């Protein structure tokens, strides 16, 4: 009996010794733990706010795109070769024409080949306002004609005789935008500050 009692006492001592030998959480450790927990909570709140902000921006963008699509459909865009074209009949200076095209989801027309040029001229010929039309090219650096849409040089050109003015001509410094002639579809460099109708182009058609 005595030996059993000694064994029990031994087991109790071992268990108690193990328990009391476990490290205790100090005051500083508890403070650090609380700070870490607060930091994680703050991060969680921040991420939730960011997610809400992103969702709000996505909803606003979706609303803008829907509005743009509805506005696009209301206007009389014409489809050709998977692009759409809008013929603005209000007469404005070249920079204003470009701004108006951007506002409705396009840009001042970029003509890539003779077929596209011919099609645009046909639409102008059918219009009740048979007038010169602004095209989307300008030479900010005198003589270096580029499309405003993507700043590429003109791979296709359809200038009328003697145009554009050579850089040796004083007119070349003031005639920095291009119009399409109303009678034959030829291009002419022209003063950007004149008021003319314009042609917009869009790479996306909602039709």
- pLDDT tens digits for 20-43? 454 555 777 777 778 788 887 888
Integer Cα distance of 207 and 205 in angstroms: 5
Integer Cα distance of 163 and 190 in angstroms: 10
Mean pLDDT of 188-205: 95
**Domains of the chain, each with CATH number or no CATH:** 78-202 (3.10.100.10)
Q: Provide CB contacts within 8 A for 32, sequence distance 6+.
A: none
CA distances from 184 to 117, 179, 199, 201 (A): 10, 12, 16, 20
Integer Cα distance of 55 and 63 in angstroms: 12
Integer Cα distance of 75 and 72 in angstroms: 6
* pTM (two decimals): 0.65
Token pair of 192 as six digits: 């950007």
Res. 47 pLDDT band, cuts 50 70 90: confident
**What pLDDT does 158 receive?**
98
Res. 68 pLDDT band, cuts 50 70 90: low
Residue 134 half-sphere exposure, CB side, CA atoms within 13 Å? 35
**What pLDDT does 187 receive?**
98
Average pLDDT, the chain: 83
134 and 176 in contact (C-beta within 8 Å)?
no
Whether the predicted pLDDT of 56 surpasses 70: yes
Short-list 176, 171, 173, 198, CA closest to 189: 176
Mean pLDDT of 57-74: 58
- pLDDT tens digits for 169-193? 999 999 999 999 999 999 999 999 9
DSSP letter, residue 187: E
Q: Provide CB contacts within 8 A for 88, sequence distance 6+.
A: 97, 100, 101, 197, 198, 199, 200
Sign of CA dihedral 131, 137, 140, 145: negative
């Amino acid at each position: 009996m005595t030996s059993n009692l000694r064994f029990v006492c031994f087991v109790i001592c071992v268990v108690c010794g193990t328990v009391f030998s476990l490290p205790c959480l100090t005051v500083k450790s508890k403070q650090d733990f609380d700070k870490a927990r607060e930091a994680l909570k703050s991060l969680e709140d921040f991420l939730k706010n960011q997610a809400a902000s992103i969702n709000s921006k996505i909803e606003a963008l979706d609303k803008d795109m829907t509005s743009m699509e509805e506005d696009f459909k209301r206007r009389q865009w014409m489809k050709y070769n998977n692009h759409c074209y809008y013929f603005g009949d209000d007469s404005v200076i070249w920079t204003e024409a470009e701004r108006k095209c951007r506002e409705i989801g396009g840009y001042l027309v970029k003509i890539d080949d003779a077929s596209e040029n011919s099609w645009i001229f046909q639409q102008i010929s059918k219009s009740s306002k048979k007038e010169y039309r602004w095209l989307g090219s300008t030479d900010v650096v005198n003589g270096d004609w580029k499309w405003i849409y993507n700043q590429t040089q003109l791979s296709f050109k359809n200038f009328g005789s003697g145009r554009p003015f050579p850089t040796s001509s004083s007119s070349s410094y003031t005639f920095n935008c291009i119009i399409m002639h109303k009678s034959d579809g030829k291009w002419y460099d022209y003063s950007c500050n004149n008021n003319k109708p314009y042609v917009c182009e869009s790479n996306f058609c909602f039709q």
